[in-house]
């Protein structure tokens, strides 16, 4: 019993989601002594989902392995490549799979639930089927894991849209700006090994949102915010970090190969919003500004640059995407952050 308590204390000791799945896999590996433990998440849009391995530990492993959070979607196994895992994800509950032909052992799958959805699938491979006490142990630990995830969601996510909230922004900013530091993930790479050398921040603002609330009421306004958050999830990659800052203002943090790649992603969102038919409201547009993160950036300074690009978009017709650096180069904006740096010396 003391070992179980120790593992539960470790599991709930971090507020770092990147470490939580690895801690869960390690706890189950130590308690059950299986051949292997793995945790999979389904990422991507419905109909085009793939399996992301969040943690995997074998009998002799000292640390959990995982797919890179920055992995290209097409490099990951398709959802249909693991049909039993897909059934577990769809809500069939725990599934025990017989040994494959020519091999011994049993694979047991457990759904990893959150308050509103199934987050992923836990895979436990053992020499013999899990007995009743072991099944209850896994189920109990997964309930604690779910409760802890729900607490994190309550403190870190916007209650309407489910996107990350303003309180989490500074810490997320530092992880994106300084990959590989502290407990954050290693510097991200593409499958070919090339570094994703560029980090960008974008600010998204709904055009004329006050008219929506004034004309249709706040309930319809909330529906617009919720639908926009869904369009954002469909327009960006699974590892891009999406925030609602409050009101009609949203923020995106991403790493990519170049600033031009970030511009393509923001333009994709702008076009998706413009094409979408919002119930009762009709056409909605967004103005977007973005900027590349600099070595000495603070969260506030970087946000202000992107916000100035948004302001320029709104002053020049709305429904536009602008790169702050491009606006400075064209003479439309003055780079106050560089000016301030020069005044210090």
Q: Give the C-alpha separation, 39 to 207, whole Å.
A: 41
Residue 199, beta-bridge partner list: 255
Sequence-ordered list of residues with C-beta below 8 angstroms from that of 47, at least 6 positions apart, any chain: none
Burial class (CB within 10 angstroms; exposed 0-12, middle 13-18, buried 19+) of 269: buried
- DSSP state letters, 67-111: --TT--GGGSPBGGGSHHHHHIIIII--EEEPPPTT---EEEEEE
User: How far is it, in rounded angstroms, from Cα 125 to Cα 32?
Assistant: 10
135, 3 Cβ separation under 8 angstroms: no
Contact 126, 108 (CB under 8 A): yes
CB within 8 Å of 129: residues ≥ 6 apart: 96, 106, 108
Reference 318, options 204, 210, 207, 231; nearest CA is 207
Coil, strand or helix at 274: helix
Residues 6+ apart with CB under 8 A from 195: 187, 188, 189
Burial string for 156-185 (b: 16+ CB within 10 Å, else e) reads: bbbeebbbbbeebbeebbbbbbebeeeebb
Of the residues 123, 223, 248, 292, which is catalytic?
248
CA distance 239 to 43: 9
132 is catalytic: no
Q: Is 228 helix (H, G, I), strand (E, B) or coil?
A: helix
- 41 half-sphere exposure, CB direction, 13 A CA radius: 20
- Which are the catalytic amino acids? 248
């Amino acid at each position: 019993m003391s070992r179980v308590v120790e593992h539960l204390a470790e599991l709930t000791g971090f507020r770092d989601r990147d470490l939580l799945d690895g801690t869960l896999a390690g706890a189950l590996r130590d308690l059950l002594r299986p051949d292997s433990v793995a945790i999979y998440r389904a990422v991507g849009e419905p109909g085009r989902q793939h399996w992301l391995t969040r943690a995997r530990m074998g009998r002799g492993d000292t640390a959990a392995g995982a797919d890179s959070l920055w992995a290209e979607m097409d490099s990951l196994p398709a959802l249909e490549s693991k049909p039993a895992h897909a059934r577990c994800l769809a809500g069939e509950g725990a599934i025990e799979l017989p040994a494959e032909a020519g091999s011994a052992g049993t694979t047991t799958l457990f759904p990893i639930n959150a308050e509103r959805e199934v987050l992923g699938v836990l895979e436990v491979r053992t020499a013999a089927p899990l007995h009743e006490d072991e099944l209850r142990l896994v189920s109990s630990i997964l309930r604690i894991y779910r409760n802890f995830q729900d607490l994190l969601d309550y403190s870190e996510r916007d209650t309407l849209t489910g996107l990350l909230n303003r309180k989490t922004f500074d810490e997320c900013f530092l992880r994106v700006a300084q990959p590989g530091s502290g407990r954050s993930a290693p510097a991200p790479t593409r499958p070919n090994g090339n570094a994703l050398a560029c980090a960008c921040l974008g600010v998204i603002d709904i055009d004329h949102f006050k008219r929506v609330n004034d004309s249709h009421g706040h309930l319809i306004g909330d529906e617009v915010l919720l639908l926009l958050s869904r369009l954002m999830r469909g327009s960006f990659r699974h590892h891009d970090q999406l925030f609602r800052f409050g009101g009609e203002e949203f923020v995106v943090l991403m790493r990519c190969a170049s600033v031009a790649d970030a511009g393509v992603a923001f333009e994709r969102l702008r076009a998706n919003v413009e094409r979408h038919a919002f119930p009762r409201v009709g056409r909605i547009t967004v103005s977007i500004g973005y900027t590349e993160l600099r070595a000495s950036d603070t969260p506030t300074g970087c946000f202000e640059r992107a916000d100035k690009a948004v302001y320029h978009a709104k002053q020049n017709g709305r429904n536009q995407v602008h790169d702050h650096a491009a606006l400075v180069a064209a003479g439309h904006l003055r780079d106050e952050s560089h000016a301030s740096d020069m005044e210090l010396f």
